[in-house]
Chains A and B, each alone.
Chain A
Amino acid sequence: DTGVSQNPRHKITKRGQNVTFRCDPISEHNRLYWYRQTLGQGPEFLTYFQNEAQLEKSRLLSDRFSAERPKGSFSTLEIQRTEQGDSAMYLCASSLVGPGTQYFGPGTRLLVL
């Protein structure tokens, strides 16, 4: 068990560019979650997968955002045409099915200039 990993840890981009983040969950976990955290706020839920199926999406997830988990293992979160308001920490978490613990990765900090 090596924990949840996220890459890259930091990303600086210019407004209008596309960015993609990767999350590798704990290997036996079939649920994977994406959250966004801005300064001074708690994490906000974006979306989650059970295996390869995307089961829930927050209204925060605009059409510029897309997430995939093609083989039920790692996941990617892509933001198209980035805006300055997308600057935030993007957190990934994984868990087993059920109401148990979500284990969080270290996050990817995005800065849009």
Chain B
Amino acid sequence: AQSVTQLDSQVPVFEEAPVELRCNYSSSVSVYLFWYVQYPNQGLQLLLKYLSGSTLVKGINGFEAEFNKSQTSFHLRKPSVHISDTAEYFCAVSVGQAGTALIFGKGTTLSVSS
């Protein structure tokens, strides 16, 4: 069965510092990978996705992620965070050619302080 592991439940950082949120997945078939962000009392918003092609994916708000097939990872990075990046971040995988149900990790809470 496919699964997603987000290795850190909470990541506290200072404003303007770099951050990496880690995500590993398990799947024996082709996968499509996503990072979503959830601000308090709001729905999930897509940050970026990997479907195929270049393994370095750039998303909104200055975030990027790198797909590493050999390590089955899809870590999210940002070189300089802002207070407004404080939110819950979810890594998700969709398997198979049709890409149907998303399997989510448990989430990482990013807390940015000044």
Contact = CB atoms under 8 A, between A and B. Distances in A.
Nearest to B6: A42
A17 to B, nearest CB: 25
- Majority DSSP secondary structure for residues of B touching A: strand
Interface of A: 4, 31, 33, 35, 40-45, 48, 55-56, 58, 91, 93, 97-107
A107 B34 CA distance: 19
A87 B110 CA distance: 25
A40 B106 contact: yes
23 contacts: A31-B100, A41-B106, A41-B107, A42-B4, A42-B105, A42-B107, A43-B44, A43-B90, A45-B101, A56-B100, A56-B101, A58-B101, A91-B43, A93-B44, A97-B98, A99-B32, A99-B98, A100-B49, A101-B34, A101-B46, A104-B44, A105-B43, A106-B42
B107 to A, nearest CB: 5
Contacts, number: 60
B12 interface: no
A99 B51 contact: yes
A99 B43 contact: no
A22 to B, nearest CB: 15
B101 A42 contact: no
B76 to A, nearest CB: 14
B43 A42 contact: no
Contacts of A45: 101-103
